[in-house]
Every structure is written in structure tokens, then in C-alpha cells.
Amino acid sequence: MRIGVPREIKDHEDRVGLIPSAVHELVAHGHAVLVERGAGLGAGHDDAAYAAAGATLVNGPDPVFDDAELIVKVKEPLAAERKRLRRGQTLFTYLHLAPDPEQARDLLASRVTAIAYETVTAADGTLPLLTPMSEVAGRLAPQAGAWCLERPRGGRGVLLGGVAGVPPAEVVVLGGGVVGANAAFIAAGMGADVTVLDRSPDVLRRIIARFGGRVRTVFATPTTIDSLCRRADLVIGAVLVPGATAPRLLTAETVKRMKPGAAIVDVAIDQGGCCETSHPTTHSRPTYVQHDVVHYCVTNMPGAVARTATFAINNATLPFVLALADKGVARALAEDPHLRAGLNVHDGKITHPAVAHALEVGFLAPEEAVGTFMKT
């Protein structure tokens, strides 16, 4: 199979879809890998390393998109990239289609097959390709929040961990899953006063088992969310419904009543955000102030630590890339229901129920899509 790795073009996105060691393994399996020159530089992998691994280096994105059967990326294709996609080609990357109807329309029009990292499942019900980036984003969130709380950024001028005789910042984490648990880990380690809210008693028990008395847990209701967020210095949005638009748990009315200079880091922004006042930002312009509250809503947070994040994501994706290449896309999807759960678009149809529901469009069952795929 011909596999293509373009350079990411999203703002300050320095991760890369395949690292040289992954390329080496694919080449050893008999596949051809086309890598756009400079694709790995931001993550610390130069062109020479890719050449040594057996990749064919090409100038610009056109040869990658023109010649590759399987495109392996990190972030969703931007408009310029979507124009290059075609029927019969497979895209394997993060998509986050539920809050992005424009991207969905373009993918449908291209008739490409698009498999989303964030909806691939595991036998235990977890999301193995989303988890590593959720860990990274969760651990980044308190750092970003601490930065937002600094006075030059419009924040309250509060040090997250406080000092002797001065109390630490109050941090509220909405959601106790992978993002939330990792956010709580770092925030507590920085000395903050941390509370995690979730609607699952089992999740809250896991937080207690992990952190003991260092982190409080509260069952999430509209009332508890409102009261705790209003007195918080930092709120971290860490909720997820796989494939679907994030629920808006933090209302605009609550934000208006938060402390002036408080901060919100909405990690759920990839799926539309869990705060009513959130809208996507970039690493170039990461924050804005609304209702006297600093909002940090960067849609590719792990891109800030591109080297760590790239290794983490490649560790998770490589077995699936090998399966797609070795077996062919149709057979790989047919044989693996967990990979098939990642199928979001095929030949002009949405194939994930949560995405179809969010976009209010028709839905083709992935099994049916794969059946038609194998006949072509």
C-alpha cells in the first residue's frame, strides 16, 4: 500500500502522523511511505531520519495526496487539504466532526473513507487512540490555567499552589475521565485545592482511590456545577461523549458570576466545548476574556508538546496503521469491530451514529458501509 504523511498545517501543529521508526516498520512490511519534507521537524524528526527509515521524501503536499492510498495525519484536514481528498482514498486522523459541519460536508463531497482516531474503541470500552492525547491535554490544562491566572494575561494574579500563609487556587475539574484525572493529578501536584465533578459514582470512586484526600469529589448537578464554578479560580472542562458534541455544562450565567480574573480551560473544545461562552482559539491567540473571565480554548493543545505527543500517539496508532496497510482497508474494518467503530465517513455517507445525530443527517451503519466497500 502507498501511505502518505503530509506536514500538518493547523496553527502551531508540530505533531506528525508517523515517526521514522513507524515508517521503518511499514516499509519492512512491503509498503511504500511518502513523507512531505519537513513534516517531522517540529517533533524533532528530520528528513534524513525518514530517508534512513525507507521513506520517499516529496516536496509539498500534492504528491502525498495525489499518490497515497492511505493518508495518516494527526489533526482534521483543513479546507485546503480537504480539496485534495478523493474517492477510493482513506484518511486516518482525528476528525471531531460533530461540531464541524463544514468539514463533514467537504468529506462527504470528496467521497473519501475517513476513520477517526477519537472513536476507535477497545474491548474494555475505552478509546485507545484518544486516550494518549487526553492524557497530554489533561496534564497541560493546569499549566495553561496557571498561565491564564497570571495578571499580565488578564487573570486574578493567583499562584496555583499558593505560598506559606497564602491559600492555593481553587481548581474545579468538570469530568473525571482520562482528561479530568490527569488534570487533577497535575493540579494537585502543583499544590492547588482541587475538586472533581462527575455524574458517575464509579468514576468518583476511582478518583478517590487514586488521590485519597488530596482531591475532593462531588456528584455533578446543575446546582453543584454552578456553586463550585462561581467560587473557583480555575475551571477545567474535561467532559466527553464519544463522537458527539460536548454537553454544555457551564452556562453563560454561571460564567458571568465567576470571580473577575478567574480562568476557564475548556479541553472539550475539540468537540464543541462544555462551556456556553467557549469558542475555538489557536496557539497563536490562545485566550480571550469574556465576562471578566479568561478563556483558553485551543483546539490542538497537545501540539504545544509535539515531541511527547507524537511519540504517544504513534505508540497507539501504529498497530492500526499496520492492519489497514497489511490487510487492506475493507478487510481490516470487516475483521476488527473496534477499528470499524472509528469509521465516520464512507463514500458520501456518515457512518457513526453520534456524528450523524449531532449533524442532523442520515446514517449508514458501518457494517453496511464495509459490506459495500468489500464489493468494490
Residues 31-54: tens digit of each pLDDT: 999 999 999 999 999 999 999 999
Average pLDDT over residues 130-151: 98
Tell me, what's the pLDDT at 231? 97
Residue 147: all three cell numbers together: 498561565
pLDDT category at 376 given cuts 50, 70, 90 is low
Contacts of 108 (CB under 8 A, 6+ apart): 345, 348, 349, 350
Judging by DSSP bridges, how do beta strands 32-36 and 56-58 pair with one another? parallel
pLDDT category at 373 given cuts 50, 70, 90 is confident
φ, ψ dihedrals at 156, nearest 5°: -75, -10
Tell me, what's the pLDDT at 39? 98
Residue 38: all three cell numbers together: 519537513
Tens digits of residue pLDDT in 212-254? 999 999 999 999 999 999 999 999 999 988 888 999 999 999 9
327 pLDDT higher than 70? yes
Tell me, what's the pLDDT at 374? 66
CA distance 4 to 42: 18
Q: Find the helix or strand (DSSP H, E) in which 236 lies.
A: strand 234-237
Q: Which of 31, 270, 295, 346 is catalytic?
A: 270
Q: What percentage of the chain carries pLDDT values higher than 90?
A: 97
Q: Which of 96, 295, 346, 352 is catalytic?
A: 96
Tell me, what's the pLDDT at 24? 98
Measure Cα distances from 85 to 23, 64, 282 in Å: 22, 10, 25
| Rg of the chain on CA atoms, in Å | 21
φ, ψ dihedrals at 250, nearest 5°: -105, 110
Judging by DSSP bridges, how do beta strands 343-346 and 349-350 pair with one another? antiparallel
pLDDT category at 375 given cuts 50, 70, 90 is low
338 pLDDT higher than 80? yes
Q: Find the helix or strand (DSSP H, E) in which 52 lies.
A: helix 47-53
Tell me, what's the pLDDT at 270? 94
Task: Mark whether 270 is an active-site residue.
Answer: yes
CA distance 158 to 70: 48
Task: Mark whether 96 is an active-site residue.
Answer: yes
Tens digits of residue pLDDT in 80-139? 999 999 999 999 999 999 999 999 999 999 999 999 999 999 999 999 999 999 999 999
Per-residue burial over 329-343, b if 16 or more Cβ lie within 10 Å, else e, is bbebbbebebbbbbb
371 pLDDT higher than 90? no
341 touches 120 (CB < 8 A): yes
Tell me, what's the pLDDT at 241? 86
Sheet order of strands, 215-219 included: 215-219, 193-198, 170-174, 234-237, 263-266, 293-296, 287-290
90 touches 64 (CB < 8 A): no
Query: Length of the chain, please?
Result: 376
pLDDT category at 164 given cuts 50, 70, 90 is very high
Instruction: Report the C-alpha dihedral over residues 34, 36, 40, 46, rounded to 10 degrees.
Output: 90
Average pLDDT over residues 261-276: 97
Tell me, what's the pLDDT at 74? 98
Average pLDDT over residues 188-193: 98
Task: Name the packing angle between helices 306-327 and 20-28 (round to 10°).
Answer: 10
Tell me, what's the pLDDT at 29? 98
* Phi-psi map region of 165: left, alpha, beta (phi>0 left; psi -120 to 50 alpha): left
Average pLDDT over residues 264-284: 97
φ, ψ dihedrals at 19, nearest 5°: -90, 165
Tell me, what's the pLDDT at 259? 98
CA distance 324 to 70: 8
